[in-house]
Amino acid sequence: MQVEVTFEGDKISSVRMLQQPNHPQTAAAVPKLIEETLQAQSADIDTVSGATITSDGYVTSLQAAIDAKG
């Protein structure tokens, strides 16, 4: 799983999936994860029930993208 994070200043303005597993649970979970990210403005978000592995992979990639910004 790989995400791209766009910032406006220090604020996360968008998150886009670059790579994700082709799985129904992933497809259902990703919009919820992105919405939570935009609300939380961090990688400190809840996992989506039934998509724990997807959620964990998303958070790991999200945190790496945030850390890369510095």
Give the pLDDT band of residue 46 (cuts 50, 70, 90). very high
- Residue from 63, 18, 69 nearest 37 by CA: 63
> What's the confidence (pLDDT) of residue 31?
96
Residue range 6-34: mean pLDDT, rounded = 94
Q: Is the full-model pTM beyond 0.85?
A: yes
Could you give the CA distance from residue 36 to residue 24 in angstroms, rounded to a whole number? Answer: 19
Could you give the CA distance from residue 20 to residue 10 in angstroms, rounded to a whole number? Answer: 26
Which residues, at least 6 apart from 12, have a Cβ–Cβ distance to it below 8 Å? 5, 6, 37, 38, 41, 42, 66
* Number of residues that make up the chain: 70
